[in-house]
Structure 1
Amino acid sequence: MLKLEKFKQRGYMLLSIGLIVFLGAISQWSAWKTKIPVIIFLLAVGFLAGPLLGWLDPVEVMGQEVIFSIVEISVALILFDGAMQLKFAEFKEVLSGLKRILTLGVIIHFVLIVSAAQLIMDVSFGFAALLGGILIVTGPTVIIPALREANMKQNVARYLKWEGILTDPVGAIVAVVAYDVIVLSNKTEAFDVFSALMLIIFTSFVLSFIVSFVLKKSLTKGLIPEFLQIPLITSLVICSFVFSNQIQHGSGLLTVTILGILIGNSNMDVLINLRSFKEDVTTMCISFVFILITASIPLEAFYRIRPSHLVFIFLVSFVLRTVAILLSTVRTEMKFKEKLLIGLYGPRGIVAASVAAVLSSEMLAEGIQVGELFLPIVFLVILTTVISHGILLKPLCKFLKLEANDRNGIIFIGTMPWVGDLALKLKELGIPVLVTSASWHKLAPFRKLGINCHYGQILNDLKSESLDINEYSYLIAMSENDSFNLLACEKFAPYLGHDNVYHLKQSRNFVHDQYKIDKRSYCVFVNNLELRYENLMKYYQYGWKFKDTKITDAYSYQDFMNHNSNSIVCLCIRVSGEVVFGSSFISPPQEGDVLISFSPKLEKMKKRVA
């Protein structure tokens, strides 16, 4: 009978895990389809499947110890993945303001939250300190996807990204120290708190540097086979987190964050595959953890929320962070509108939810009844900030004029001389241009012209996220290697869209024609459907040049076509700034539009090169 009961419990556990994974996948897809933050869907399905419908009861099936172990390891992997995205080169650009935000800003924000909690909700200092530690964090898992959609200026986006990733472990540490020192030990002396913080920081830095050093040496000397590199690194991250917590409670998250920064800024070959793998693991972890925690919250916990709690939640969500950012960044290089946007946008995320769940459970186990309020308050802050801040981000960027330039830039792959002429013409017209090559020597003429260049393996850099393409919406692959051009279009299509990637056909009757490979990305310009790489070279050698012509009321598009029958219309820059290629003219260019054409040097030259 006992064996049958265990079998039923095991079967229910597998069913619960399967349901969580399924709901997580559906939530991720729904978020992608609707452009709504995924956390909203995860919270909704968690509440629906857990407290409301009773399909999931993780505490009963798995037990709190198992749940919190899964949550802590998942958060460690999420923070490690986020830290790998932080680049020292970016840090130098935002150093002045970021130092203030991460030091003085965190302190002011913490003090404001603690004071508000005590004054408004009339709670103890220990409980207020716990809330302060948890709610000073922002959620990079929410912020980073939102930044891509908002088209924000890079400088402001970097502040938000760095702050979000670095304050996560800081907030968790503050909360853990507040719980261990103030709540459990009932010690409020500054020395006790300071010494606990210093032990955590020392442990985290020493352990992360040792692990990073050993890993780099092992990979450099070939001691780890390629097929074991990613599994071993993942195991090291988990072991570092667990071991660090065993040495000094609360230091694990800071350890994996520092480790992620060190590994992410190294030149190890494994980074490309590691980032891809970690991104997939992070997506799974976020889905699993949010549904697991949300489904574990009893519905009765929200019945204890009072009007004073709602006032506190409002202040935390919309006022206190703004005040902290504005005060901490006085006399920095940051502009007021940048400070205001950073202060007003601060959604909380996975770390706040996971740490709150763990500490709430521990408080209740210790008989501290106020712990019943801890998790509902934190979750309501998360829900409020994710929804409201997400809705307000784009209008705020527009109102404060912090939107990046329209994404109408063009990336050129190839360094033929006529690429330089076209890029220079576009630059003169205010269109961002990037010419890329793996040859430093071939990029020299473009650098002399003042054209923005990217030296490196562009496909690897795109995958590793070291290539900033926020300004660019189009790709034209014009290198000598047609197979590489086709591959580049395929790799850039998920980022720019299949309709915005083009490559130049090499020659007549090329192998792609023979095998009927998809030719939608061919660069087909107006009135020269057979424009090919070999012909373009001949035209350029005969003195053809790129020129711009503005369409006016007195000189229409038809007039231009009548007077320039030998020219090749390459693209049109609309009055709105949109770039339309010759093969994509849905409607003829209108008054105010600018045409870019490839024309013979002398108009009397009528003969085309075959």
Structure 2
Amino acid sequence: MQPDLTLTIAVIAGSGVAAQWLAWRLRWPSIVLMMGAGLILGPLTAALLGAPVLDPEASFGAYLRPMIALAVAVILFEGGITLNFRELRDASSPVRRMVFLGFPLGWALTALALHFITGLALDLSIMIGALLTTTGPTVVLPLLRQAKLPGRIASVLKWEGIVNDPIGALGAVFMFEAIRQTALGHDWMMAAGFLALGAGIGAAMGFSFGFGLSQAFRRGLVPEPMKAPIVLASVLVCFAAADSLAAETGLVAVAVFGLVVANSRLASIEEMRRFKEGIASLLVASVFVVLAAQLTPSDLLALDWRHLAFILVFMLIVRPLSVMLATAASGLNLKEMGFIGLIGPRGVVAAAAAGHLAAVLVDAGRADAEILAPLVFATIFITVVVCGFSVAPLASLLGLSQSGPERILLIGANRWTLGLADALRTADIPFTIADTSWDRLRAARLAGHEVYYGEVLSEAAEWRLEPSRFAVLLAATHNDAYNALICVEYAPELGRSHVFQLSGTDAETDADTSAEDPRAIVYTARGRTLIRKGRGYESLTGDWWRGWRFKATTLSEQFTLASLEEAAPEGDVILARTPAGKIVMSGAVSLPDTPGTTLIRFVPPSAGSD
């Protein structure tokens, strides 16, 4: 491989991932910075320096198109594998209405607005309308965490993105195939026949791969270490095989492939999803940088006031109107419908698919398709920027935000956690205590604490418990293995540094010492240890019955953490809450020592209690 091509690949991957990381640090929508990186490396430097820093077409030549197509295939499969029909059946009425009514309404209104405002041909308007009607979890989920929305609104936005993403892509691909056939000189009847044939081939290929792979996994024909690589290779083979049998049917095949796998009830589905999310994140970053860098200054200058007018109409009229019509009499109030209607950032699938499909249509003789990529990119950029920076203020303005101190999820109702719950309530630290026993939750219910009755590892918990509400999880049941399982399950949602469990044995649970005790769970398969070694369930509950209690202490400029440790060396600090409301658990990092920080300590009778 030539050095310049090696450098190009490194620049694409490095700038894309760097943009994602910077977006995480700044709490900005990652898609904005990824597109910005591509625009800076491509058209912006071309306009300023006369030549772009990154020119994918010159670097990859004929290989660029298939590389993008394969990346889009993996991204579409990753979207399909998140769509579980059981979850859609169990969804609330607003979610079902947004899927079955909101999507077709939005598609039709978007296509009409495109056609009459921009003058784009009706068939192209219908194709792009399908893509622009999708939101997508990659852009919606970060906004939900940023705005701290109530469960019902977050649920509608989340599942609209997850469900409509692959459906919109499929609709666009079907319309694309019809346009491509007519561009090749076939009449509409023949184009419809080719479309039906292509859809059938793609769906059959995707179903065959999905069913075959699911059966192989279920029968134990694939070892665990090879499952994720085999899934990735199967996606690429499925895409290429479908495209070889019928041109441009690969995207249909991989989307159906993902749907079949997602609904096969495989025990390893979560591991596959996480692996695919990691691969998809790298591919999403790379595809965005490449597609944005491919734009030229002339492409951007081709956008005029009509395209800007369409984007404004799309954001302020089309989206709110389709949401209002779809969710009327669904239980949502006017504020909730208005908020959902105004928050609809367009995402990854729209950009990736539009760039790929537009290039194929131009090659097929549709010169008017050249405007599609810059138009879709402009729509995505504006919607993501506006929604990303307005979601929190808009939620606060409408009184829909749950902003406030960070919330703790306590797993296990026992004397120790109930005592901790009382201390948290006294200190005004919000929390929820969860247990599978209604009887064990009795004391918490009588005390007026927020409780969750049910198994936190069940699918129902994803809907009813709303894990995104919590900043920290503490698993404090008597079963160390169960605590570890809960932490591993919730780590991808909350972050591994925010899931804690009680110490299981006297051994340190870290990389250096966990192997020394055969009772210790390996540190990679558990949460972070609260407090210190040896302070597990039996030790803490034993101290509770010996009279230990929880005490809240607020630090000041005169009374610092060092002063507290000197004055009261006995006891354990459980957590700290900063004046800004941030929760820091003992065992995570150094405890904050700023004035106004509240410490929750577990102390012996001689220290007194609140």
- TM-score category of the 2 structures, normalised to the smaller one: 0.7 to 0.9
Matched residue, 2:517: none
Q: Which one of 532, 535, 541 corresponds to residue 537 of structure 1? A: 541
* CA shift for structure 1 position 286: 0.7
Instruction: Give the distance between the partners of 2:264 and 2:88, measured in 1 at CA.
Output: 15
Instruction: Give the distance between the partners of 1:28 and 1:465, measured in 2 at CA.
Output: 28
Q: Deviations along 1:472-518, whole A, 9 cap, x unmatched?
A: 233445456789979988997886679866665689x97689x9999
The answer to whether the 8 Å contact 2:405/2:430 transfers is no
Instruction: Give the distance between the partners of 1:168 and 1:489, measured in 2 at CA.
Output: 29
Instruction: Give the distance between the partners of 1:18 and 1:199, measured in 2 at CA.
Output: 40
Instruction: Give the distance between the partners of 2:83 and 2:122, measured in 1 at CA.
Output: 35
* CA shift for structure 1 position 262: 4.1
Matched residue, 1:523: 531
Instruction: Give the distance between the partners of 1:532 and 1:364, measured in 2 at CA.
Output: 65
Matched, 1:432 2:431: yes
Alignment of 1:76-91 (within 5 A): 76-88=73-85, 90-91=87-88
Instruction: Give the distance between the partners of 2:543 and 2:41, measured in 1 at CA.
Output: 66
Matched residue, 2:294: 296
Residue 482 to residue 26, structure 1, CA distance change in 2 (3 Å) = same
Instruction: Give the distance between the partners of 1:399 and 1:98, measured in 2 at CA.
Output: 24
Q: Which one of 54, 65, 69 corresponds to residue 66 of structure 2? A: 69
Matched, 1:117 2:114: yes
Alignment of 1:274-353 (within 5 A): 274-353=272-351
Matched, 1:471 2:465: no
The answer to whether the 8 Å contact 1:114/1:131 transfers is yes
Residue 500 to residue 223, structure 1, CA distance change in 2 (3 Å) = closer
Matched residue, 1:158: 155
Q: Deviations along 1:169-228, whole A, 9 cap, x unmatched?
A: 333343344344357528999988987776666556554444333223212222122332
* CA shift for structure 1 position 249: 5.6
Instruction: Give the distance between the partners of 1:88 and 1:423, measured in 2 at CA.
Output: 37
Q: Deviations along 1:287-336, whole A, 9 cap, x unmatched?
A: 11112212222221222222222212222233311111112222223333
The answer to whether the 8 Å contact 2:83/2:163 transfers is no
* CA shift for structure 1 position 22: 2.3
Alignment of 1:96-495 (within 5 A): 96-182=93-179, 184-185=181-182, 206-245=204-243, 251-404=249-402, 406=404, 408-412=406-410, 416-423=414-421, 431-435=430-434, 443=437, 445-448=439-442, 451-452=451-452, 455=455, 468-478=466-476
Q: Deviations along 1:384-418, whole A, 9 cap, x unmatched?
A: 11211111111122222333464633333556543
Classify the secondary structure of the residue corresponding to 2:467.
coil
Matched residue, 2:520: none
Matched residue, 1:560: none
Classify the secondary structure of the residue corresponding to 2:367.
coil
86-95 vs 74-83, which moves further? 86-95
Alignment of 1:549-568 (within 5 A): none
Instruction: Give the distance between the partners of 1:587 and 1:506, measured in 2 at CA.
Output: 32
Classify the secondary structure of the residue corresponding to 2:217.
helix
* CA shift for structure 1 position 461: 13
Matched, 1:47 2:44: no
Residue 153 to residue 545, structure 1, CA distance change in 2 (3 Å) = same
Instruction: Give the distance between the partners of 1:155 and 1:292, measured in 2 at CA.
Output: 37
Q: Which has the larger radius of gyration?
A: 1
* CA shift for structure 1 position 345: 1.6
Classify the secondary structure of the residue corresponding to 1:319.
helix
494-503 vs 118-127, which moves further? 494-503
**Length, aligned pairs only:** 565
Classify the secondary structure of the residue corresponding to 1:452.
strand
Matched residue, 2:558: none
* CA shift for structure 1 position 282: 0.8
Instruction: Give the distance between the partners of 2:348 and 2:269, measured in 1 at CA.
Output: 24
Q: Deviations along 1:358-393, whole A, 9 cap, x unmatched?
A: 333233334433223222212211111121111111
Matched residue, 2:563: none
The answer to whether the 8 Å contact 2:174/2:199 transfers is no
Instruction: Give the distance between the partners of 2:71 and 2:228, measured in 1 at CA.
Output: 16
Instruction: Give the distance between the partners of 2:529 and 2:88, measured in 1 at CA.
Output: 37
The answer to whether the 8 Å contact 2:320/2:340 transfers is yes
- Counterpart code for 1:377: L
Residue 318 to residue 203, structure 1, CA distance change in 2 (3 Å) = farther
Alignment of 1:503-522 (within 5 A): 522=530
The answer to whether the 8 Å contact 2:88/2:96 transfers is no
413-422 vs 468-477, which moves further? 413-422
Residue 589 to residue 139, structure 1, CA distance change in 2 (3 Å) = closer
The answer to whether the 8 Å contact 1:317/1:384 transfers is no
Residue 205 to residue 548, structure 1, CA distance change in 2 (3 Å) = farther
The answer to whether the 8 Å contact 1:570/1:596 transfers is yes
Instruction: Give the distance between the partners of 1:135 and 1:28, measured in 2 at CA.
Output: 22
Matched residue, 1:558: none
- Counterpart code for 1:287: A
Instruction: Give the distance between the partners of 1:498 and 1:350, measured in 2 at CA.
Output: 26
- Counterpart code for 1:116: A
- Counterpart code for 1:151: K
Matched residue, 2:7: 15
Instruction: Give the distance between the partners of 1:43 and 1:355, measured in 2 at CA.
Output: 15
The answer to whether the 8 Å contact 1:493/1:501 transfers is yes
Classify the secondary structure of the residue corresponding to 1:343.
helix
Identity %: 27
Q: Which runs of 5+ in 1 are unaligned?
A: 1-6, 525-529, 551-563, 601-605
Residue 544 to residue 122, structure 1, CA distance change in 2 (3 Å) = closer
Residue 71 to residue 402, structure 1, CA distance change in 2 (3 Å) = farther
Matched residue, 1:32: 24
The answer to whether the 8 Å contact 1:405/1:471 transfers is no
Q: Deviations along 1:97-131, whole A, 9 cap, x unmatched?
A: 23332333233223322322333233432333333
* CA shift for structure 1 position 538: 3.7
TM-score (norm: length of structure 2):
0.76
The answer to whether the 8 Å contact 1:90/1:158 transfers is no
* CA shift for structure 1 position 285: 0.4
The answer to whether the 8 Å contact 1:177/1:193 transfers is no
Q: Which runs of 5+ in 2 are unaligned?
A: 446-450, 515-522, 555-567
Instruction: Give the distance between the partners of 1:160 and 1:585, measured in 2 at CA.
Output: 36
The answer to whether the 8 Å contact 2:85/2:263 transfers is yes
Residue 108 to residue 413, structure 1, CA distance change in 2 (3 Å) = closer
Matched residue, 2:564: none
